[in-house]
Amino acid sequence: MKLAYRIITPILTVGAVLMGFFLKLFYFAIGTADESLSSIVQLVGALGVKTTYEFSAYELISLLLGMEPAKEGSKSFVELAAPVMPHIISFIVFFVLTLLMFLAVGVVSAATEKRNVVMAMSGGGLILCLICIVIAKLAFDKLIGGELSLTDLMGVFSENVGMQLLAAVVTITSATLSSGFYAVFGMYILIILWTVLTNMLIKTPLEFKKKHRRKKPMKRLSAIIHR
């Protein structure tokens, strides 16, 4: 069981890092509460313009590293996202620490037998995840509150006229953390449960004992005859 733990746990941590980097972390939906504008939203959506968007950590980092505006003369993503840029940077820092903690857990579990340390580090990873949730909530409140120009923000991603029209009449109606983030969160819980189970099996290993039934002694033929 010890060997299995030292092999499986690092595999889980590497998988968690890959999920956190490439799976979608953020989900955004745009729409309108105004019934008179809902027909416009439906029309533009029918033309193939997206009304929901998801971003992974990889895509977000690509944006921050200098994605050029789709329209010449328009502002860059970093300039447009200035109101929430402190939150974005804070989230990235803590989320990167969350993924680095996974790598540290993998190294400790593979190189040592300090499983209690692995559980403590995984607990620290959960705390980092909770900090990320708080930071994201603060940023999402600003987005939904309209502190960013959605029209200008759309221009960063596309020159599509339909998208520009849609941006003029809608707002961000939903902003949440997506499946990729909760997959990372869940992997920490899985590693803790896996470690607890491993400790239990090592301390009290399962033993399958065969029950040997005593065979009744065969009576001698002479004893039967004498009866």
Q: Got the DSSP string for the chain?
A: -HHHHHHHHHHHHHHHHHHHHHSEEEEEEEE-S-HHHHHHHHHHHHTT--SEEEEEHHHHHHHHTTPPPSSTTSPPHHHHTGGGHHHHHHHHHHHHHHHHHHHHHHHHHHH---HHHHHHHHHHHHHHHHHHHHHHHHHHHHHHTT-S-HHHHHHHH---HHHHHHHHH-EEEEEEE-HHHHHHHHHHHHHHHHHHHHHHHHHS----PPP-PPPPPPPPHHHHHH-
pLDDT of 102 above 60? yes
More confident residue, 70 or 6: 6
% of the chain beyond a pLDDT of 90? 31
Instruction: State in Å, rounded, how far the first CA of the chain is from the last one.
Output: 60
Express each pLDDT in 129-145 by its tens digit.
Answer: 999 999 999 998 888 88
Helical packing angle, 35-46 and 161-169, nearest 10°:
160
Express each pLDDT in 23-32 by its tens digit.
Answer: 999 988 877 7
Tokens of 42: 């439906």
As a whole number of angstroms, the distance between CA 153 and CA 132 comes to 23
% of the chain beyond a pLDDT of 70? 66
Task: Grade residue 188 by pLDDT with cuts at 50, 70 and 90.
Answer: very high
More confident residue, 125 or 150: 125
Q: What is the pLDDT of residue 146?
A: 74
As a whole number of angstroms, the distance between CA 120 and CA 101 comes to 11
Amino acid at 160: N
Q: What is the pLDDT of residue 42?
A: 65
Q: Alpha carbon 136 to chain centroid distance? A: 13
Q: What is the pLDDT of residue 69?
A: 47
As a whole number of angstroms, the distance between CA 12 and CA 9 comes to 5
As a whole number of angstroms, the distance between CA 204 and CA 202 comes to 6
pLDDT of 7 above 80? yes
As a whole number of angstroms, the distance between CA 118 and CA 153 comes to 42
Average pLDDT, the chain: 78
Residue count of the chain: 227
Task: Grade residue 227 by pLDDT with cuts at 50, 70 and 90.
Answer: low
Express each pLDDT in 45-80 by its tens digit.
Answer: 665 667 777 888 888 777 767 555 445 555 666 777
Q: What is the pLDDT of residue 17?
A: 93
